[in-house]
C-alpha cells in the first residue's frame, strides 16, 4: 500500500462518513489519495475533512481547476479507483454511461481498476433496477464489494450496510497486486488440530494459523482461487477465500485431500497433531488424586497422503524444528516426496503466536533460500515469490 496512488470517490449516502475513516487508514499505510465528492456527499461530510486527512485538495466540481482538466488528470495519475459509498444513483449513472459531475466523468474516463462499494437501504439494494445495474457493471470489469447485513440508518436491519473497512482495504490490495497467480488453484492448510479425550479436554499445540491465513490472503491477492483448510483459531479468514473449518486431524485430512486433488499449488502449513487419544470419554473426567493415563495413536499424515496422490501441482510442506533444523526438514521433504519445505526454529516459543517469524525454504538436493525474519504477512509474500519462481524453473 505504501506509495500507492488511489482515487477515492465519495457518494451521497450516510455511509460517506466512513469514507473519512477509510481515508485516514489508507494515509497511515502510506497511500497517496485524491478525493472527489459528489454534491450530495457534501451534505454528509465536508471536503475540508478529506483535504485535512490527505494534505491534498479535495475535489467537488469539474470547474474547480478547469485548466487542469481534473476528470482526466486524476484518473491518469491514479493506480486504482474506489467509490465509497456507491449509492443507487451512482450505480445507475455508471451503468448507463451518464457523466454529469466530476466523479462520474472521471470514472467514465478511467482505464484503471475500479472498485464500487454499494451502501443503501435494503429495499433500494434489492430493487430489480439496482441489481441489473450491478450485473452490468460487473460484466464491464468493475469490482463490487458487496454490502453486509446489519443495522441501517433508517433504524431497520437488513442487507445494504457498507462493507467493513478490512474488506475495502483488501479489495484495494488485490487491485494493486500483480495477478501472477490468475487462473491458478491454491490450497492452504493452516492452524492446529484438536484431538479430544473428553468433552472439554484435548491434545493440541500452540499454532495460531497466522502464517497460513497470511499465505491464503496473499495468494488471493495475486489472483488465485484459494481454498483455506483452517483448524481451530481465533483468527478470521481473509475475505474472498473459500474457507473450510475443521477441528481434528481426520477432518483436516479429508478436507485437504479433497481440495488438493485439483490444486496447482498446495501449501501445507497446518500444525496437525501427530497423536490422538485412542479413547474419547463421553463424559468429563473428574479431577481426583489418581493420575490419568491417556493412550495415544498416530493421526493421519496429511501432507504425505497428498504427495502420494498428487498427479500435478506443486506441494510445499512446513517443518517446525527445535534442533538440526535444515537437516531434519530436508529429510522430511525427501521422505514425504514434497517439492519444497519451509522450515523454522520454534525453540523458546519462536514462530507460534508471535507477529514475526523466520523461514528458510529448501528444495531438491541442495536448493536453499533464506526468507529472513519478518512479519508473517511479509514472509507469506516472499514464500509465494519463491514458489512461483520454482514452478517456472
Q: How many CA atoms lie within 13 A of 287 on its CB side?
A: 2
Dist. CA 115–CA 225, nearest whole Å:
19
Q: How many angstroms separate the Cα of 5 from the Cα of each of 29, 65, 141, 214?
A: 12, 20, 20, 24
Catalytic residue among 121, 205, 279, 366: 205
Query: In DSSP terms, which residues pair with 116 in a beta bridge?
Result: 83, 144
Which ranges of the chain does DSSP label H, i.e. alpha helix?
16-28, 47-54, 70-77, 88-96, 102-108, 122-126, 128-139, 165-176, 210-221, 249-260, 302-309, 325-335, 376-392
Straight-line distance from the first to the last Cα atom of the chain, in angstroms, rounded to the nearest whole number: 29
**Nearest CA among 13, 235, 221 for reference residue 117:** 13
**Nearest CA among 95, 89, 112, 147 for reference residue 34:** 112
* DSSP state letter for 43: G
Dist. CA 385–CA 267, nearest whole Å:
13
Residue 205 designated active-site: yes
Question: Cβ distance 268 to 302 under 8 Å?
Answer: yes
Catalytic amino acids? 205
Amino acid at each position: 500500500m505504501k506509495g500507492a496512488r488511489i482515487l477515492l470517490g465519495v457518494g451521497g449516502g450516510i455511509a460517506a462518513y466512513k469514507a473519512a475513516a477509510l481515508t485516514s487508514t489508507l494515509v497511515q499505510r502510506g497511500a497517496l489519495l485524491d478525493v472527489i465528492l459528489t454534491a450530495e456527499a457534501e451534505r454528509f461530510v465536508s471536503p475540508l475533512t478529506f483535504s485535512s486527512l490527505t494534505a491534498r485538495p479535495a475535489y467537488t466540481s469539474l470547474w474547480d481547476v478547469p485548466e487542469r482538466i481534473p476528470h482526466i488528470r486524476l484518473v491518469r495519475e491514479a493506480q486504482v479507483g474506489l467509490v465509497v459509498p456507491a449509492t443507487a444513483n451512482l450505480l445507475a449513472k455508471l451503468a448507463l454511461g451518464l457523466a454529469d459531475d466530476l466523479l462520474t466523468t472521471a470514472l467514465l474516463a478511467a482505464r484503471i481498476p475500479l472498485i464500487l462499494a454499494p451502501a443503501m437501504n435494503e429495499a433500494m439494494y434489492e430493487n430489480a433496477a439496482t441489481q441489473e445495474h450491478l450485473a452490468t457493471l460487473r460484466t464491464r470489469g468493475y469490482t463490487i464489494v458487496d454490502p453486509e447485513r446489519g443495522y441501517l440508518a433508517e433504524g431497520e436491519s437488513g442487507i445494504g450496510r457498507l462493507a467493513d473497512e478490512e474488506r475495502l482495504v483488501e479489495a484495494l490490495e488485490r487491485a494493486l497486486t500483480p495477478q501472477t497467480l490468475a487462473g491458478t488453484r491454491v490450497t492452504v492448510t493452516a492452524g492446529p488440530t484438536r484431538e479430544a479425550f473428553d468433552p472439554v479436554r484435548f491434545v493440541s499445540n500452540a499454532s495460531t494459523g497466522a502464517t497460513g491465513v497470511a499465505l491464503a490472503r496473499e495468494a488471493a491477492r495475486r489472483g488465485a482461487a484459494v481454498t483455506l483448510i483452517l483448524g481451530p483459531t481465533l483468527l478470521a479468514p481473509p475475505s474472498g477465500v473459500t474457507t473450510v473449518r475443521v477441528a481434528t486431524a481426520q477432518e483436516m485430512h479429508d478436507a485437504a485431500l479433497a481440495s488438493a486433488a485439483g490444486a496447482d499449488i498446495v501449501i501445507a502449513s497446518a500444525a496437525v497433531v501427530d497423536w490422538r487419544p485412542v479413547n474419547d470419554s463421553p463424559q468429563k473426567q473428574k479431577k481426583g488424586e489418581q493420575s490419568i493415563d491417556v493412550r495415544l495413536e498416530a493421526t493421519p499424515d496429511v501432507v504425505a497422503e497428498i504427495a502420494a496422490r498428487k498427479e500435478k501441482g506443486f506441494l510445499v510442506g512446513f517443518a517446525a524444528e527445535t534442533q538440526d533444523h535444515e537437516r531434519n526438514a530436508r529429510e522430511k521433504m525427501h521422505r514425504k516426496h514434497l517439492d519444497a519445505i519451509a522450515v523454522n526454529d520454534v525453540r523458546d516459543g519462536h514462530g507460534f503466536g508471535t507477529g514475526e517469524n523466520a523461514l528458510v525454504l529448501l528444495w531438491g538436493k541442495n536448493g536453499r533460500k533464506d526468507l529472513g525474519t519478518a512479519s508473517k504477512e511479509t514472509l507469506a509474500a516472499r514464500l509465494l515469490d519463491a514458489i512461483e519462481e520454482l514452478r517456472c524453473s
